[in-house]
Amino acid sequence: MKILVPVKRVIDYNVRPRVKPDGSGVDLANVKMSMNPFDEIAVEEAIRLKEKGAASEIVAVSIGPAKAQETLRTALAMGADRAILVQSDDEVEPLAVAKILKAIVDEEQPGMVLMGKQAIDDDSNQTGQMLAALWGRPQGTFASKVEVAGGDVKVTREVDGGLETVTLKLPAVVTTDLRLNEPRYASLPNIMKAKSKPLAMKTAADYGVDTAPRLKVTRVTEPPVRQAGIKVGSVDELVAKLKALGVA
């Protein structure tokens, strides 16, 4: 079984995003960029499935700027076999990303698409579900456990009420949640090896997908700032405050 793993280049999760003073967006100039953490978990899971013999080949895909090649090289260094970059210098919305991925799926015919549940920049949490819809295949979102058995995949999902388990017919889309695994670090020899792994360069036009945005971002602002309150000196004062708030 071939596994397709879409990965996105985003602001590093340790960096605090700064809104541009003109309200046009978040300032990404000279900011450290990394692979979306949820996607890193997806790459790791694909490698584990390959190590278990459940997968034969891992293809990493990214839709983004030329620099997303670095992100794909990271996936290759972790253990993906080859990569495809669909180059676009403009922001591509989840719906258009899903359409491009659908076209790649038609070409590659994977048994599973494993991807992050959301990207930590736009926080949309849509692409996996959209791809599954366009592909007419089932979806296992917010996965904390993935088990392949025969023509099915059993996915344990992190839902509001606890953990839900579903069985999906393959091929299927699985989106990863935080606790699925702890991604490995690429070793130096593997980083060197990744440099010679194949990386194909494409454009959205190659797949006949229109990436014109449907949502116009008219303004980006800082969230309202919450002011620090007071510090009290004793438990008795805390009790008094709780009583004043009417909850004790």
The mark string for 46-85 relative to another protein (x by CB under 8 A, - otherwise) is: ----------------------------------------
Q: Which of 47, 180 has the CB closer to another protein?
A: 180
Member of 133, 149, 201, 205 binding another protein (CB under 8 A): 133
Minimum CB distance to another protein, residue 187 (Å): 25
Per CB under 8 A, which of residues 154..173 are in contact with another protein?
154, 157-169, 172
CA atoms of 248 and 243, how far apart (whole Å): 5
Q: What is the CA radius of gyration of the chain?
A: 21
The answer to whether residue 87 forms part of the interface with another protein (CB under 8 A) is no
Residue type at position 186: A
Member of 48, 122, 184, 197 binding another protein (CB under 8 A): 122
Which residues, in sequence order, are bridge partners of residue 172?
112
Residue type at position 234: S
CA atoms of 150 and 170, how far apart (whole Å): 9
The answer to whether residue 207 forms part of the interface with another protein (CB under 8 A) is no
CB atoms inside a 10 Å sphere around CB 185: 9
Angle, helices 127-135 vs 94-108, to 10°: value is 50
Q: Which stretch binds another protein (CB under 8 A): 77-85, 107-115, 195-203, 231-239?
A: 231-239
